[in-house]
């Protein structure tokens, strides 16, 4: 191992340590005092409920762990968006579990809470996965009601999705384990089956105080909408549970009897570990986002037996296209090559940049994978498309459009891992969030933005200094440097993978060593949903 490898390893392991520290903090939800108060009511926390429900020792992945990080600080924050979402197994059946975290503002819905719930439902819909709701929420966070209530992708979309999933035959089970009020009361009742925990669970459109104010009736919450009321009088819920564990055991028994699904039929062989040590990734991935490295060395540490068959190996070298297996699943890999390469004309091409030939190759490969029903894996470390007169005259916009068209119209499931840079149109062509990857995750080394912090700061500095000069201000070298650093620091915060994860532009920031699990579980989930339409790229300028 050389000194550069060791320095890269130290840097990336520090990033990993930071990731683990952030996760520990996130998992505390509303904090230790809030957890104590919650447990004093005889209730399990959201994470305890999920861990009890999922099969022990089976793999699981958490979606949106960093949702809301750094947001809503004026209200005390909203760790994990006030809701925990996991993909895992219940009685061996793959499911999505959504649990309100009542330690965070009594489980109230912030705007990001709605977005995260919709993402969970989207994953269930795309993959035809059963979805379990563990409800414990005070409803919409009223100070921000205008950002969560009326729009298409707001709170009401949840119930619309309940109805759509029901019509699609996707199993939905809801357990009311705490408050379930106002519009939120529709979620469990629009599910296929609803459970309620005695004495701690309650469902009503309006609580006792509002009932008193609205119609003058005096009644307590338990009589108004507790377990006995809804299991014996209204018939709103289907099962009464004596406590949290009883409710979760009942869910396990219901899921255990769900019939098998129609499979999409993706190819799977026996899973084999990579021959090359996956931990080498920490030393291969450079400390600087500007440095070059060989993406093939990363791929070797992600795929079974460290083997892959490269498609058009000697053409369009700034994108690697290859067939491989990940935990036994056949995959088509589209990855940005991050080292300087030479094309057939003897011209040097920058790593991480998409050229005409590489866009053309990727388009053809994506079409081939669709033809053969092979899921696609995108490994992003891209600065964008090549610019300049030579590229423009060669039709880089047209070739880039072909690639975007192929990604957009792909009917096989797509999975995106952001290793490093994810800039501008490169993000789009390499299947960014806007292009419907089934799952999208970032490594701690990732950066997402229109351009790098350094480039953006230079552009913004020119605008800022021009504006100040117009006002008659004299810009000294020291003042210019101060402005540049201020702009760059602000921009660098926004390119952080945690900034993206907090807004659910990605499904999470993950340890590189968890990448195989994310892709494998993602393909297994996608295998629940047969492809319903043929691959068609529509009108295309060839």
Q: Quick check: 201 pLDDT over 60? A: yes
Give residue 449's pLDDT.
Answer: 85
Residue predicted with more confidence, 537 or 96? 96
Q: What does the pLDDT look like over 249-286, one tens digit per residue? A: 999 999 999 999 889 999 999 999 999 999 999 999 99
Q: What is the pLDDT of residues 313-346, one digit of tens each?
A: 999 999 999 999 999 999 999 999 999 998 888 8
How much is the pLDDT for 353? 94
Compute the C-alpha angle 249/250/255, nearest 5°: 100
Q: Which residues of 319-346 are buried (b: 16+ CB within 10 A; e: fewer)?
A: bbbbbbbbbebbbbbbbbbbbebebeee
Q: How confident is the model at residue 183 (pLDDT cuts 50, 70, 90)?
A: low
Length of the chain: 542
Query: pTM (2 decimals)?
Result: 0.94
**Which whole number is the average pLDDT over 142-148?**
87
pLDDT of residue 83: 97
Burial class (CB in 10 A: 0-12, 13-18, 19+), 38: buried
Q: What is the dihedral of CA 177, 183, 189, 195, to 10 degrees?
A: 10
pLDDT (average), residues 35-44: 96
What is the pLDDT at residue 1?
60
Confidence at 406, pLDDT banded by 50, 70, 90:
very high
Residue 479 pLDDT: 77
Determine the distance from the C-alpha atom of residue 201 to the mean position of all C-alpha atoms in its chain, rounded to a whole number: 30
pLDDT at 49: 98
- Residue 142 has a pLDDT of 83
- The confidence score (pLDDT) of residue 426 equals 93
C-alpha–C-alpha distance, residues 301 and 15, integer Å: 19
* Average of per-residue pLDDT across 384-394: 86
pLDDT tens readout for residues 343-359: 888 888 988 999 999 99
Q: Which residue did the predictor score with more confidence, 77 or 450?
A: 77
- E strands, 182-311, where? 193-197, 202-204, 239-241, 308-310
Of residues 97 and 476, the one with the higher pLDDT is 97
Q: What is the mean pLDDT of the chain?
A: 93
Q: How far apart are CA 428 and CA 404, in angstroms?
A: 7
E strand segments, 208-346: 239-241, 308-310, 319-326, 329-336, 341-342
Instruction: Report the percent of the chain where pLDDT is more than 90.
Output: 74
Residues 43-93 have pLDDT tens digits of 999 999 999 999 999 999 999 999 999 999 999 999 999 999 999 999 999
How many CA atoms are closer than 13 Å to the CA of 98, on its beta-carbon side?
28
pLDDT at 459: 76
Under the banding of pLDDT at 50, 70 and 90, the label for residue 540 is: low
pLDDT at 454 > cutoff 90: no
Percent of all residues in the chain with a pLDDT value above 70, rounded to a whole number: 99
| Rg from Cα positions in the chain | 25
Per-residue pLDDT, 181: 86
Residue 90, strand partner residues: 93
Q: What token pair was written down for 40?
A: 């004093």
């Amino acid at each position: 191992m050389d000194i550069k490898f060791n320095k890269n390893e130290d840097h990336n392991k520090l990033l990993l340590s930071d990731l683990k520290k952030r996760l520990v903090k996130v998992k505390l939800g509303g904090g230790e005092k809030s957890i104590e108060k919650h447990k004093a009511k005889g209730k399990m926390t959201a994470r305890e409920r999920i861990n009890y429900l999922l099969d022990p020792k089976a793999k699981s992945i958490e979606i949106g762990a960093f949702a809301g990080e750094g947001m809503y600080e004026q209200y005390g924050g909203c760790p994990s968006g006030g809701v925990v979402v996991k993909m895992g197994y219940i009685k061996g059946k793959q499911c999505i579990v959504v649990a309100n975290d009542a330690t965070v503002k009594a489980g109230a819905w912030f705007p990001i809470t709605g977005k995260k719930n919709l993402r969970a439902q989207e994953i269930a819909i795309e993959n035809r996965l059963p979805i379990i709701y563990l409800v414990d929420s005070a409803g919409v966070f009223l100070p921000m009601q205008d950002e969560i209530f009326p729009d298409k992708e707001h709170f009401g979309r949840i119930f619309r999705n309940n109805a759509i999933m029901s019509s699609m035959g996707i199993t939905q089970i809801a357990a009311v384990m705490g408050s379930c009020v106002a519009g939120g009361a529709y979620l469990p009742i629009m599910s296929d089956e609803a459970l309620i925990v005695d004495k701690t669970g309650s469902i009503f459109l309006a609580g006792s105080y509002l009932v008193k104010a609205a119609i003058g009736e005096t009644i307590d919450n338990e009589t108004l909408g507790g377990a006995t009321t809804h299991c014996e009088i209204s018939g709103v819920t289907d099962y009464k549970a004596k406590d949290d564990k009883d409710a979760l055991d009942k869910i396990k028994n219901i899921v255990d009897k769900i019939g098998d699904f129609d499979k999409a039929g993706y190819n799977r062989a026996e899973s084999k570990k990579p021959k090359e040590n996956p931990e080498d990734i920490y030393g291969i991935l450079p400390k600087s986002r500007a440095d070059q490295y060989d993406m093939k060395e990363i791929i070797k540490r992600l795929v079974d037996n460290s083997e892959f068959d490269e498609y058009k190996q000697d053409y369009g070298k700034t994108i690697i296209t290859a067939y491989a297996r990940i935990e036994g699943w056949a995959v088509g890999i589209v990855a940005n090559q991050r080292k300087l390469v030479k094309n057939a004309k003897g011209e040097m091409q920058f790593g991480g940049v998409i050229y005409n030939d590489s866009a053309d190759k990727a388009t053809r490969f994506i079409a081939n994978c669709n033809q053969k029903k092979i899921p696609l894996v995108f490994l992003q470390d891209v600065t964008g498309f090549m610019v300049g007169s030579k590229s423009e005259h060669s039709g880089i916009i047209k070739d880039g459009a072909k690639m975007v068209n192929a990604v957009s119209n792909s009917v096989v499931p797509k999975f995106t891992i952001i290793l490093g840079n994810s800039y501008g149109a490169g993000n789009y062509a390499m299947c960014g969030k806007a292009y419907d990857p089934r799952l999208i995750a970032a490594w701690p080394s990732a950066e997402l933005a229109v351009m790098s912090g350094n480039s953006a700061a230079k552009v913004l500095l020119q605008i800022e200094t021009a504006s100040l000069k117009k006002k008659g201000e004299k810009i000294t070298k020291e003042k210019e440097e101060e402005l540049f650093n201020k702009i760059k620091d602000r921009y660098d915060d926004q390119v952080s993978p945690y900034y993206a994860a907090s807004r659910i532009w990605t499904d999470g920031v993950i340890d590189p060593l968890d990448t195989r699990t994310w892709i494998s579980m993602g393909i297994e989930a996608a295998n629940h949903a047969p492809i319903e339409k043929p691959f068609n790229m529509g009108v295309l300028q060839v």
